[in-house]
Amino acid sequence: MNERMDVSVVISTYNGAASLPGALESILDQDADGVSYEVIVVDNNSHDNTKAVIESYVASSDGRVRYVFEPQQGVSYGRNAGIAKATAPIIAFFDDDVRVASDWIRTLKRALDDHPDVDFVGGKVVPQWHSTPAAWLTEAHWSPLALVDYGPEPLPVTLERQLCLVSANLAVRRSLLDAVGLFSPDLQRVKDSIGSMEDHELLMRCWSAGRQGRYLPALIASTPVPATRMTKDYHRRWHRGHGVFCAMMRYVEAIDQDGKYVGERRGEDAVMLFGVPAYLYRQAADQTRRWALASLRRQEAISFMHENNIRFLISYIRTRYGQERAVTQRSAVAEVRNFAATLLRKKMRTALRIES
């Protein structure tokens, strides 16, 4: 294939020999409507039959599929290796266990053509259940499963509206990556936790640079949900790890009235205690109260949501505490004293503004 590509699709895989054929069949069976595209499959140091699987598709795809080997372990390294080999002005991503809809290429290309002010687009990631989910596993608990559904209408994704789009279903302009950088390998998995936040960290850099994206409900991918991810233990570990990652990124996630995470920028006048905004301590207390009430009412799905919110907040606070103690000479008593004085001054300023 020698013609100029419109879209480069990057799939990074580690020991994906079993799941990869389904992903490749879905991307090769596209109703692309004239959009030219290539598929770059990055073997991220696999130890199974992944290389042979990829090479079989390379041989039968008339040059559309390309093989890249990346020895450094980690999905960010894998995606970045694929980006380095991509030739198109649009680079799209999905995972080796994901299946994309037959109009996926056409939909993402048309969206970026129709909205030249938009730098990235992402869509729905819907579940393929291997077994019937438990009653508690409602949509409020989908984040640990990397499932995405923000409803039936397209939505802007900006600094003011921070919807998290995941690289299981994402397309970006190469010019955006040239401006803000590639996926960061610094947020590798934390010991005893699940998941990572490379996607979110990239979005944060995009928002900070004033770039905007778009959520497209018509851009659809699906992913299997194995039984191992449908347990409460898995979800507890994910939320604990999510708190660690957010703390590492200095990213503040408030929790709204529905118990969902809401990304926020910390204001310059935020009152901090051990590197944590004061309102997160209040939210921890509020989530504890809500968890107790839901538990008493035997509302399993709701109580488990609040339980995991508490787990996230405690993990965030504990991690930030450790980070702050490592760099500050101030004692814990002095930190609390300074916090109380700052809080009092802020309340006094607020009262004076109201009076005037």
User: For residue 217, what are the contacts with CB-CB under 8 A and spacing of at least 6?
Assistant: 123, 124, 149, 150, 151, 152, 153, 154
pLDDT digits 0-9 by tens, 113-124: 999 999 999 999
pLDDT over threshold 60, residue 141: yes
The answer to whether the beta carbons of residues 10 and 82 sit under 8 Å apart is yes
Burial of 333 (0-12, 13-18, 19+ CB in 10 A): exposed
Mean pLDDT of 270-274: 78
- Give the predicted TM-score (pTM) of the model: 0.86
User: For residue 221, what are the contacts with CB-CB under 8 A and spacing of at least 6?
Assistant: 94, 98, 99, 100, 101, 104, 123, 124, 125, 126, 168, 169
The residue ranking higher by pLDDT, 352 or 334, is: 334
**pLDDT at residue number 268:** 43
| Angle between the N-to-C axes of helices 50-60 and 20-28, in degrees from 0 to 180, rounded to the nearest 10 | 20
**pLDDT at residue number 336:** 74
pLDDT digits 0-9 by tens, 10-21: 999 999 999 999
**pLDDT at residue number 127:** 97
Q: Where are the domains of the chain?
A: 7-230, 247-355
Q: Which of 145-159, 170-184, 187-201, 298-312 has the lowest mean pLDDT?
A: 187-201
Q: How does residue 354 score in pLDDT terms, banded at 50, 70 and 90? A: low
pLDDT over threshold 70, residue 266: no
pLDDT digits 0-9 by tens, 166-193: 999 999 999 999 999 999 987 665 545 5
**pLDDT at residue number 254:** 55
Mean pLDDT of 5-9: 97
3-state secondary structure (DSSP) of residue 122: strand
CA dist 77 to 31, 73, 181, 188, 206, Å?
Answer: 30, 7, 13, 10, 19
Mean pLDDT of 66-73: 96
Rounded CA separation 67/52 (Å): 10
Quote the distance between the C-alpha of residue 185 and its chain's center: 14
Q: How does residue 196 score in pLDDT terms, banded at 50, 70 and 90? A: low
CA dist 304 to 29, 136, 249, 285, 290, Å?
Answer: 40, 8, 26, 16, 10
> Nearest CA to 95 among 194, 183, 166, 187?
166
Q: What's the CATH number of domain 7-230, 3.90.550.10, 3.40.91.10, 3.50.50.60, 3.40.640.10?
A: 3.90.550.10
The residue ranking higher by pLDDT, 332 or 198, is: 198
Q: How does residue 269 score in pLDDT terms, banded at 50, 70 and 90? A: low
Is the alpha carbon torsion for 190, 196, 197, 202 positive or negative?
positive
**pLDDT at residue number 202:** 93
